[in-house]
Amino acid sequence: MSATDTGLPLRLRGIGKRYGDSAVLRGIDLDVAPGACVAVVGRSGCGKSTLLRVIAGLETAETGTVDSGHAALAAQRDAVRLMFQDARLLPWKRVIDNVALGLGRAGRAQAQVALDAVGLGSRGGDWPATLSGGQRQRVALARALVHRPRLLLLDEPLGALDALTRIEMQQLIVQLWRQHGFTLVLVTHDVAEASALADRIVLIEHGQVGLDLPVPVPHPRAPGAPALAAIQAQVLARLLRTPDVVVPAGAETPAEEQEGAMPAPLSLRRII
């Protein structure tokens, strides 16, 4: 699979979104450089998946803009792909035909290249039901990559996998991201996963960006490395001081958390 063009830059300005009387996103500003990998973390219900769906065009923001710095992202949808936690494969189509959906006559040849890239080149003729969870996610990744995206959005893609398969998928995602140069935005509950993959971690709290932390650790990254542990501790310390609340529309942002809150053990890596 040949390399993509330069990753697509991403610029969010003043993104706001409500569901009824609850403000889920409250004036989000975010810049992502071309080819960067940014992980978005936060408590359940903080708005991180909603933010990703706004970027993908699956939800409409009530305020603000999403663009690539020069043009609205809506005009560049062919360069954007979204991968979900559920692989969403069509059970009545073989693996290669799932990957080739929408590609026309040359689709099967392109799909085979994509399957080779994710280590499933020999499984194209199989049915989705015969694959493990990790293999189905590899197929979903191949289905996204076959379109040569410049911006790849991942919404909790590894959350349902066992620990070893999750690490293998993390390594594959990093390998393909570095090889193809696309911009990558990942939503995850797993702080360890965020630090393993991303070169920035953005924490959403109360519908706003509460923390924007660089991860200046070169790849490949060894799990449990002291530098990663320190970054995880910093993110967790902020998360664990943040009440799990939904802010009513029009309400003031809660004051900064009080000092002296008791930290949770650093072995806690997932905020559910």
pLDDT in tens, 180-227: 999 999 999 999 999 999 999 999 998 999 999 999 999 988 888 999
User: Rounded to an integer, what is the distance from CA 14 to the centroid of its chain?
Assistant: 20
Decide which of 161 and 268 is more confident.
Answer: 161
C-alpha to C-alpha distance for 127 and 96, rounded to whole angstroms: 9
Q: Residue 247: is its pLDDT beyond 80?
A: no
User: Rounded to an integer, what is the distance from CA 63 to the centroid of its chain?
Assistant: 22
The residue type found at 209 is V
pLDDT band with cut points at 50, 70 and 90 for residue 251: very low
Indicate the SS3 state at residue 31: strand
Contact 202, 56 (CB under 8 A): no
Label residue 65 left, alpha or beta by phi (over 0 means left) and psi (-120 to 50 means alpha).
Answer: beta
Q: Where are the domains of the chain?
A: 10-86+150-248
Q: Are strands 183-187 and 37-41 parallel, antiparallel or unpaired?
A: parallel
Average pLDDT of 97-125? 93
pLDDT reported for residue 83: 93
The answer to which of 71-75, 100-104, 132-136, 257-261 has the lowest mean pLDDT is 257-261
CA angle (87 as vertex; 108, 24 as ends), nearest 5: 130
Contact 67, 11 (CB under 8 A): yes
User: Rounded to an integer, what is the distance from CA 162 to the centroid of its chain?
Assistant: 18
pLDDT in tens, 39-58: 999 998 899 999 999 999 99
Q: Residue 245: is its pLDDT beyond 50?
A: no
pLDDT reported for residue 75: 82
Q: Residue 5: is its pLDDT beyond 80?
A: no
**Highest CATH level, class, for 10-86+150-248:** alpha beta
The residue type found at 234 is Q
| Residue linked to tokens 């109360």 | 206
